[in-house]
Amino acid sequence: MVRGEPELTCLEVVGNILAGSQDFSKIAGLSWRKDKKIIHNQDRVFNINLDDYPLPDYESLPMHLYSYSVVDLPEPFSIMLTSRGCPGQCVFCLKAMMPGKYRARSAVNVFSEIEYLVDNFAIKSIYFQDWEFLIDKQRVKDLCQMLINADIDLRWGCSVRATSLDSEVISLMKKAGCVLINFGFESGSAEILRVSQKGVSLEKVKEVVKMCRQQGINIRSFCLANLPGETKKTLKESAEFIVQNKLNVPRINTPIPYPGTKLAQMVDCNSWERALELSGKVNTEMDPETARKLIKKYIWQGKFGKFYFLDQRFWRYIFRILEEKFL
């Protein structure tokens, strides 16, 4: 089993096999079996310079089959990963997947991959899969300027923290082809955000949403129900925040205490199976499914009134969601 980032570990494993060697003891980042015994080699020190890695082997992928979940990003479509890690401290984030220092590819390196995708696959849109695309804001500004100067007809989207956005960078991203920004505001309760160590204020979220709308950039927001300390009151605060700011929230999830997260430490969870069982059940007073249903009810009441189920607008809203999901 390869632990952590796979590139260098897999390369050494394949080299070992091709050389006919059965000794894997010197390959960092590898766990393997020898004589019915599991051996865990030392951890691998991650490569700081991501520009050292080659581009993905797009030629071996069925690029014509890929699409994004919303119409903002048309086909032909591709995803890209331009950085690894995140300095955020959210209690629910699985940073163990990319531990250690935040690392990013250079703007020049990212731009060269975009050019390759456009020239070889006629890509019309890209989603940057980075956990937080704007940690290195100057890097993104440089990339945007390259896209603008090259006059490439490309639409793109990314995930960011609200704290990373300002009017200058939003305007530049728009000129460079950005049409979609996803971010997790997680909760409309200031207290829940504090306990979750999200590091984002509700006022900042309001400000960012307004600026993006002024630039014509679509915003999708993500919310978690049953974070530690969640109550009916805090769920109602989240619903009210969503309604008041007209947020597009495609789904409401519950936090999973994956091993390695601070959330897992709260309940001493060390297995993936146990983590799934405890989803939305860490330091909360209600069942996670009840919490999800309750926040949806509060949202619908805020949009369509107390007796929302009697309002035709509500049913048109539901049918539209179902249509987008299944068609």
Mean residue pLDDT of the chain comes to 93
Alpha helices (H) along 153-311 = 167-175, 190-196, 202-215, 232-244, 262-267, 272-277, 288-304
Question: Can you tell me which residue has the tokens 């995930």?
Answer: 159
| Per-residue model confidence (pLDDT) at position 100 | 74
- pLDDT confidence tier of residue 327, bands split at 50, 70 and 90: low
Cα(first)–Cα(last) distance of the chain, in Å? 39
Sketch the domain layout of the chain as residue ranges: 1-45, 55-326
| Per-residue model confidence (pLDDT) at position 126 | 98
- pLDDT confidence tier of residue 247, bands split at 50, 70 and 90: very high
Q: Please write the tens of the pLDDT for every residue from 167-177.
A: 999 999 999 99
Assigned superfamily of 55-326: Aldolase class I (3.20.20.70)
* Mean pLDDT (whole number) for 295-313: 95
For the chain, count helices (H), then strands (E).
11, 10
Task: Report which DSSP code applies to 45.
Answer: P
What are the tokens at 182?
Answer: 């996803």
* Mean pLDDT (whole number) for 13-26: 92
How much of the chain exceeds pLDDT 70, in percent?
Answer: 98
* Mean pLDDT (whole number) for 29-39: 91
- pLDDT confidence tier of residue 105, bands split at 50, 70 and 90: very high
Asked whether the predicted pLDDT for residue 325 surpasses 70, the reply is no
| Per-residue model confidence (pLDDT) at position 256 | 96
